Structure 1
Amino acid sequence: MGFYGILLCGDCVYDNHLITALVERWRRETHTFHLRIGEATITLQDVALIWGLNVDGDPIIGTDVSCKFSVWQDYCYDWLGFMPLQADFRSNSLKLTTLYLHCTQTIIDDNSTDVEVAQYSRCVAMLVIGGCMLPDSEGCAVKLLYLHFLQDMRKVRSYSWASAVLAYLYHELCSASVSGKQEIAGPLYILQIWAWSRMIPLCPDRLGYSLIAQPENENNGDNILPIPPYGARWKNVFTWTHTPTHSVRIIRDVLDKMGDCQVITFH
């Protein structure tokens, strides 16, 4: 499906103060962060490098419709392999806890049919989409709209998931930058890794470095798993001894004083 890189990256603890300081400098008119040295923003290249998502391909677009409870039940039974209860839905979204419990209680082995494997894979993909790629403000449900793009397993990786992630992040940054807004949704993992990678004063020290690479199988090259993306190298223990963290005031001061030589750019 093309989501393997996200699984290798795992999750990280968000520095809410860093996110807040970045949101304060976000300008909706230009979709950029305004810094003393100029403007900067996260791009499709950053999303592709950090998570290894596909950039080219068909866009992730559709109409977020509301259906009767029984219709959603049948839809989930056909494509996910189980029928959720009414309490498992939030309007046109399905709770992530319901998907997680189904995955932990379902056994996939050599005796499983292709249909069962496909249904289980869609459940895992929906967990990745709703929990990491396109989460809501509470991070507890995933829109069933995305299940439409998982129906044909052969086409999933052909969609431009990186574009969907970036567009959603831009939308949430614009929404959070409005006066009075107190929360933000979206793929904040991408935003934090981008800030750590581009702005030297904000980058924590890694206490270890490891990448899980799949050894080459000379007998069957088709089974080689992809090389972990850039974001996987941040799956370590950090220390903030020389880095400001958990203080909006200090991070604001660092951003105000940051010079050209302290920002990493690629051409």
Structure 2
Amino acid sequence: MDFYGTFHFPCGEATVTLQDISIIWGLTIDGEAVTRIDVSHKVEEWQHICLDLFGFLPSSKHLKGGHLSMIALYDHCMYNLVTDDTSEVDVVKFARCVALMIIGRIMLPDYQEGSARLIFLQLLRDIDNVKSYSWGSAVLAFLYRELCNVSRIEKTTMAGPLYILQVSLTYGHGAGLNVLAPTEGELTLGVPPVDPDAIIPVSPYGAQ
């Protein structure tokens, strides 16, 4: 990708790149596109799909317009923790729950706060194939779209992966990006300073 759009903030002109997405979150930026048909199911149908892929039948009050409440996912995970005795099938179902929470809450959150879009279940059905998708490209495209939308005068809210924007502004990986992080002497919250000589961090910056 040779061209990146830039956005004007009070701090100046800035942008987030695919490299930022890869370094900060460790997401893949190569592979199949994250795209699927937005199917419409009745509540009962979504319930049985969740039972098949997650291992539990969510209450109808936790399902709305193709979205599943984060509370339902969180409660299921907390009461069905993975142990040494957990079967491989149940481990996969647990992994799908966690993955959907990460996608719906952090990577690709929309305006339905506190819930995740069940359309992503199409991409999580084959858990071994999840890594073949270009999740980083989807995250960046979603962020760019939301930054463009929020520039309109009638817009008052914004969805999308705002945490990636916050981390990018903090560490300043993007081209022409203003670094807003405090200097080493100003750190007061116990956050370790970034090693300027490190080409790639040991773990994604966003995980620190």
SS at match of 2:127: coil
- Aligned-pair CA distance for 1:178: 1.2
Instruction: Say whether residues 1:175 and 2:149 are aligned partners.
Output: yes
Q: 1:161 and 2:135 equivalent?
A: yes
8 A contact 1:130–1:139 mirrored in 2: no
- Note the C-alpha offset of 1:62: 1.1
**TM-score with structure 2 length normalisation?**
0.83
SS in 2 for 1:183: coil
Structure 1 residues without counterparts, runs of 5 or longer: 1-29, 212-225, 234-267
Name 1:206's counterpart in structure 2.
187
Percentage of identical aligned residues = 44
Alignment of 1:228 onto 2:206 = no
RMSD: 2.3
Determine helix, strand or coil for the equivalent of 1:62.
coil
SS of the equivalent of 1:135 reads coil
**Secondary structure of residue in 2 paired with 1:75:** helix
1:58-77 superposed matches below 5 A: 58-77=32-51
Where structure 2 has 5 or more consecutive residues not aligned to the other structure, the ranges are 173-177, 194-200
The change in CA–CA distance for 1:173 and 1:110 in structure 2 (over 3 A counts) is same
Contact 2:36–2:122 (8 Å) recurs in 1 = no
Q: Which amino acid aligns with 1:206?
A: L
Distance 1:161 1:110 in 2: 30
Q: Structure 2 vs 1, CA of residues 193 and 113 (structure 1 numbering), >3 Å: closer, same or farther?
A: same
Q: Helix, strand or coil for the counterpart of 2:89?
A: helix
1:90 maps to which of 64, 67, 76? 64
Question: In structure 1, how many angstroms separate the alpha carbons of the residues matched to 2:10 and 2:118?
Answer: 42
Q: Radius of gyration: which is bigger?
A: 1
**Partners in 2 of 1:115 and 1:177 — Cα distance?**
45
Structure 2 CA distance for aligned equivalents of residues 38 and 101 of structure 1: 42
Amino acid at match of 2:204: P
Structure 1 moving runs of 4+ over 3 Å: 34-40
- Pairs aligned (count): 189
